Structure 1
Amino acid sequence: MTTEYKPGDEWDSHYRGYRLQANPDEEIWWQAYQGTDRLFLDPTPEKLVETLLELKHLGGRIRVTEDNDVITRIESSDESYKIVWVGEISLAGEFVPPEDPEFSISVAPESIEAGELWSSVYDGAKYSFASGVDRVWWANPSTSKRHPVQTSIPTDIKTALNRYKPRGGSFRVTPWNDVLTLVDLDKLPSGARVQFNNLPRVVKNLISLRKDRGGVQKIPIYVGKIDQTPLTVGSPPSLTDPVSSGELGFDEWTDSLGTTKATEADNHSVEIANGDSSEKADMKNNSSSGSDSDFDENELPDDDPIDW
Structure 2
Amino acid sequence: MTPSVSPGEEWPGYYRGYRLRTNPDGDVWWQVYQGTDRLHLDPSPDDLVEQLLSLKRLGGRVRVTEDNDVITREETDDGYRTVYVGNLSVEGELVPRDAPEFSVDVNPTGLNPGDLWPSVYDGAKFSFSGGGEHIWWSNPATNRRHPVETPIPNSVLTALQTHKPKGGSFRITPWNDVITLVSAHPAPDTIQEQFSDLPRVVKNIIKLRKERGVEMLPVYVGKIHDTPIQIGEPKTLIDELSDEEREELEGWAASLGTNSPTREEDHSADSITQSESDDTEPIEEELPDDDPEDWYTG
Within 5 Å, give how 1:1-308 maps onto structure 2. Answer: 1-76=1-76, 78-187=77-186, 190-213=189-212, 215-243=213-241, 245=243, 253-257=249-253, 259-261=255-257, 271=274, 277-278=276-277, 298-308=285-295
Give the letter aligned to residue 99 of structure 2.
D
Unpaired runs of 5+ in structure 2? 259-272
Q: C-alpha distance in 2, partners of 1:180/1:223?
A: 5
Give the letter aligned to residue 71 of structure 2.
I
Query: In the alignment, is the contact (CA less than 8 A) between 1:133 and 1:168 conserved in 2?
Result: yes
Q: C-alpha distance in 1, partners of 2:289/2:246?
A: 40
| 1:130-166 deviation per Cα after TM superposition (whole angstroms, max 9, x unaligned) | 0011110000000000000000000000000000000
Q: C-alpha distance in 2, partners of 1:45/1:33?
A: 23
Match of 2:263 in 1: none
User: Deviation of residue 190 (structure 1)?
Assistant: 5.0
Unpaired runs of 5+ in structure 1? 263-269, 283-295
Q: C-alpha distance in 2, partners of 1:141/1:239?
A: 20
Q: C-alpha distance in 1, partners of 2:291/2:186?
A: 16
Identity rate, percent = 56
TM-score of the superposed pair, with normalisation by structure 1: 0.85
Q: C-alpha distance in 1, partners of 2:127/2:284?
A: 11
Q: C-alpha distance in 2, partners of 1:74/1:209?
A: 31
User: Deviation of residue 95 (structure 1)?
Assistant: 0.3
Give the letter aligned to residue 256 of structure 2.
T
Distance 1:47 1:223, change over 3 A: same
Distance 1:25 1:83, change over 3 A: same
Q: C-alpha distance in 2, partners of 1:189/1:137?
A: 30
User: Deviation of residue 261 (structure 1)?
Assistant: 2.2
Distance 1:188 1:20, change over 3 A: farther
What is the aligned residue count? 280
User: Deviation of residue 19 (structure 1)?
Assistant: 0.2
Q: Which deviates the most, 124-133 or 297-306?
A: 297-306
Q: C-alpha distance in 2, partners of 1:190/1:127?
A: 29
RMSD over equivalenced CA pairs, Å: 2.3
Query: In the alignment, is the contact (CA less than 8 A) between 1:33 and 1:210 conserved in 2?
Result: no
Q: C-alpha distance in 1, partners of 2:187/2:117?
A: 12
Query: In the alignment, is the contact (CA less than 8 A) between 2:90 and 2:174 conserved in 1?
Result: yes
Q: C-alpha distance in 2, partners of 1:62/1:184?
A: 29
Q: C-alpha distance in 1, partners of 2:254/2:99?
A: 66
Q: C-alpha distance in 2, partners of 1:188/1:12?
A: 43
| 1:174-231 deviation per Cα after TM superposition (whole angstroms, max 9, x unaligned) | 0010000001135556511100011011000111112223x21110010000011000
Match of 1:293 in 2: none
User: Deviation of residue 35 (structure 1)?
Assistant: 3.4
- Corresponding residue SS for 1:35: coil
